[in-house]
Structure 1
Amino acid sequence: MYKKLIALAVFCGCFTIANSQTNEVAKTQKYLINKAFNDIYTQNLKPATFGNEYGGPTRTLLASDLIANFVIVNTPKLPFYVVATPEISIRLLSEQGSPVKTPSYMPGLIVYFSVNTDAYKSRFFSIAYNHHSNGVEGPTFNANGTLNIDSGKFTTNFYTLMFHMGKRTDKDKVIINSYLSAGTELHAGLVGKGHAAGLDGRYGWVRLKGRWLYSLAKKYNNSINPDKKDYCDWMRLQFDLQYIADKYDSYAFGDVKKRLNAGLRYYYQLPFMQNTAIMAGGGYRGQDEYNIRYQDSYAYFTFGIAAGLSFGARR
């Protein structure tokens, strides 16, 4: 009987140790997975831009998106990632006095979370809320029924849900990351709330969205240890697509010229650029996203620089 009790105690002790070790391994694996996905989310953050656009109906001296990504939650201990984005878009007009009329203020909050555990074939969602306003209180329309683009009020609130599919490929000289994203943008105007009077039926409340992001990290010699190699961001290509899907003035659903927004941008980072890249691109706006000027439709070309956390990845 005494020997049986000893054997049982030994068995229980071994089982407890094995179970503890298993839990510790699972905890470490979860930690590493969360850390890898947090790096993926950072790569997908929207960068700030500083440059100019050409081709629009109004000539500009500067077109800039000022985006500061305040990362609120970024810890491998939690399975989600939270970022606050106080975004401001400005256009410095090529007019007397070079005015900046009614900038776009777009503060928001975005949450990322994964639905799988493979960082080389990542699958994750993002949910965002944004407020969009031009910060003025004048009448949205002039007395003759035209838009008051000088001092007219523009306000809308919207929610964005996106599903992302990523793929990472490691090679000897480069690391390739590509992401495909699809989702929808829904405005509170759908339920008659959170928008300036007069925008009903004139502004797109439902928008189908897509994005393709392709980035390369290049191998460099370590400046301290010549036997060590560093992989740093090198260049990326990004294509954004948006289509207005709900009733919009008298435009048919297939009226691409008034419903489609699309843009392609190329970013190139020189070795001394840590979080900054040279940018060039172009696209088409069926409905201008610059607040009260939404009635404009035009093709454009852009050139400048871009900066942000997404350009600082080191592998």
Structure 2
Amino acid sequence: MNTQMVRFFHPYILLLTVFLTACYSAFAQSKSDSVISANEQTNSSFNTIYRQTVNPGFFGNEYGNPIKTSLVADLNPNVLLLNSSKSRFFVLFSPRVKLRLLDARKAPVRSPSYMPGLKVFSRLNNDLEQPQFLSLAYSHHSNGQDSPTLDSVGNFNRGKGKFTTNYYTLDYTYGQKSTDAFQSVSKFGSLGLEIHTGLFNLGYSKELKDKYGFVRLNGSLMYDLLKGKTGKEKYDNHYRINARFTYILDEYENYSLLNLSKRFNVDFQYNYQPGFTDNVALAIGAGYRGQDDYNIYFSDSYSYLSVGIVYGVAFDLRKIVVRKP
């Protein structure tokens, strides 16, 4: 196997090893009858907590982008590869794609963002009322183009130029949960680091060097409320408030480390899920992008509003109640 192939497959081999180790752990743990009951119930409850914090998909539109759109979609179908009470690990894969349908003649989708990733969760404690866990992920981001990244005058070839980066993320999450017959309240906060392989001159479009953020601090806050009535099969309504931010930490374009307008991305979103839906919720949000997260358009900075729906495993929890083992 040549060096280029080793560089391409190495991240996947690493996370596959973690996945297989988790599967082996589940198999080995199933043989221990003395601890199986407590461990299985705790693992199962944490699996529900992990699902609750997974980023959902989005379908709607954004207003404020310098390039007007008629549709924006974050197609994020999370596939659960390991979701077993036999293991403390939880593994998911997402063949994620972000699209922007331009508000222009023939409504083209130029340069979509292909963002597949594999993510592994593991709990740090056994406390379901104050859960703590880590998550490690490897992700790829490219736009499927093969034209030169720069045009003839040295500017980024937006729309047709090649964009590629790969990155690892490590996040710590702390939560607080309380459940009774009428409602379930969850609060989560996370903080983590995102490292792009371009920092080590690997797996990226070379023209991104000193132009794109390779080291980022990520964080999020979530307040989640499920409300219903005693004796009901499931909670009637689901309300969620989400806030996420990213801050670029390394040098790029000679911007000061305190230049919020070019280094800071933040997004606020409110979701409401009525009782007649299973995993879909209405969404309204607002945010600011100091560095656009849509492939080769990253040099754009702007504020925006968003309206649409969110969907996925994170909103399929109204029949699930997490209790202490």
TM-score normalised by length of structure 2? 0.86
Report the 3-state secondary structure (helix = DSSP H, G, I; strand = E; otherwise coil) of the residue aligned with 1:198: helix
User: Matches of 2:34 and 2:129 in 1, distance apart?
Assistant: 20
What is aligned with 1:133? 142
Q: Which residue of 136, 160, 164 corresponds with 2:169? A: 160
Matched, 1:245 2:249: yes
Q: Which residues in structure 2 correspond to 1:191-202 (within 5 Å)?
A: 191-202=200-211
State which of 300, 305, 309 in structure 1 corresponds to 2:309: 305
What is aligned with 1:94? Answer: 103
1:294 aligns with 2:298: yes
SS at structure 1 position matched to 2:238: strand
Q: CA deviation at 1:197?
A: 1.9
Task: Tell me whether 1:105 sits opposite 2:120 in the alignment.
Answer: no
Write the letter of the residue equivalent to 2:210. G
**Residue aligning to 1:178:** 187
Work out whether 1:32 is the aligned partner of 2:41.
yes
The percent identity for this pair of structures is 40
User: Which residue of structure 2 aligns with residue 206 of structure 1?
Assistant: 215
Q: Does the CA-based 8 Å contact 2:149-2:161 persist in structure 1? A: yes
- String of CA shifts for 1:253-309, please: whole Å, max 9, x gaps: 000000000000011011101100000001000000000000000000000011101
Q: Distance in 2 between matches of 1:24 and 1:192?
A: 49
SS in 2 for 1:77: coil
Task: Assess, with a 3 A threshold, how the Cα gap between structure 1 residues 191 and 254 changes in structure 2: closer, same or farther.
Answer: same
Aligned residue number for residue 216 of structure 1:
225
- Segments of structure 2 that go 5 or more residues without pairing to the other structure are 1-31
Q: Which has the larger radius of gyration?
A: 1
Deviations 1:115-157 (A, max 9, x none): 1001111000000000000001111111111110020000000
Determine the structure 2 residue equivalent to 1:235. 239
1:114 corresponding residue in structure 2: 123
Q: Distance in 1 between matches of 2:43 and 2:236?
A: 21
**Alpha-carbon shift at residue 213 of structure 1 (Å):** 1.0
Aligned-residue offset at 1:251: 0.4
Q: Give the structure 1 partner of residue 83 of structure 2.
A: 74
Cα offset, 1:230, TM superposition: 3.0
Runs of 4+ more than 6 Å apart: none
Aligned to 1:7: none
Shift of the alpha carbon at 1:171?
4.2
TM-fit CA distance, 1:26: 2.8
Per-residue CA deviations over 1:94-128 (Å, capped at 9, x if unaligned) read 11111000000000000000010011110000000
Q: TM-score, normalised by structure 1?
A: 0.89
Counterpart of 2:67 in structure 1 is 58
What residue identity is the alignment partner of 1:296? Answer: D
Q: Distance in 2 between matches of 1:228 and 1:67?
A: 31
- On the 8 A contact 1:42/1:309 being kept in 2, the answer is yes
Counterpart of 1:66, as a letter, is L
Alpha-carbon shift at residue 45 of structure 1 (Å): 1.1
Give distance in 1, aligned partners of 2:122 and 2:110.
37
SS at match of 1:248: coil
Among 274, 280, 289, the alignment partner of 1:276 is: 280
SS at match of 1:160: strand
Any idea what the Cα deviations from partners look like across 1:212-244, whole Å, max 9, x if unmatched?
A: 0110111146xxxxx455336611010001000
Deviation at 1:25, TM superposition (A): 5.5
Superimposed CA distance per residue, residues 162-190 of structure 1 (whole angstroms, 9 cap, x where no aligned partner): 00001102245211011000011000001
State how far apart, in whole Å, the 2-side matches of 1:45 and 1:180 are.
Answer: 13
